[in-house]
Structure 1
Amino acid sequence: MSDQARPFRLHLPHQVLDGWLTADGWAVAIDDPEYGLTSAAPTPADLIRGYGGGHIEWPEDPTHQQHEGDPRT
């Protein structure tokens, strides 16, 4: 991960995935660390929607906001 990537934790109904936000705004989640499988979307909201809902927890930093997702939007 580069210095410009922002790590996050994606909280889903039955699991929590690590991920990061790239410098150009793409959200990437690590689905399977053992095999290196990831999922990516153009925005955090799109990533959440793709998983059917959940929320993103950012590191303790006042510049980060928590993104909520509703699969119906």
Structure 2
Amino acid sequence: MSADSRTFPRAFLFHHRAGTLAGLQLPSGRVLLAEDVDYGFATVAPTTEDLLKGYPGARIEWPGAC
């Protein structure tokens, strides 16, 4: 993990069978997935690996990552 990812939250795109959602990984490693921004529904998990366990076939895209 780079120094920047430990200091600042990192945004990601979460692709699953129903579409694409925006997510955020906090410096602690916890992740927040915005499921419905109008109503404030979100999923929170301790790690990206734990988040993916709840969504079979899903993947995470880190914008800017090569």
Q: Same fold (TM over 0.5)?
A: yes
Instruction: Identify which of 6, 29, 32 aligns with 2:33.
Output: 29
1:53 is matched with 57
Unaligned runs of 5+ in 2: 1-6
Give, as a single letter, the amino acid of the residue that structure 1 aligns with 2:21. Answer: L
How does the TM-score come out when normalised to structure 2?
A: 0.81
Give, as a single letter, the amino acid of the residue that structure 2 aligns with 1:24. Answer: S
- Deviation per CA, 1:10-53: give whole Å up to 9, x if none: 00012111001001001110010101111011111110111223
Where does structure 1 differ by over 4 angstroms across 4 or more consecutive aligned residues?
none
2:47 is matched with 43
How does the TM-score come out when normalised to structure 1?
A: 0.74
1:7 is matched with 11
Higher share of residues assigned helix = 2
In 1, Cα distance between the equivalents of 2:55 and 2:26? 19
CA RMSD of aligned residues (A): 1.5
Q: Map of 1:60-71 to 2, 5 A cutoff?
A: 60-62=64-66
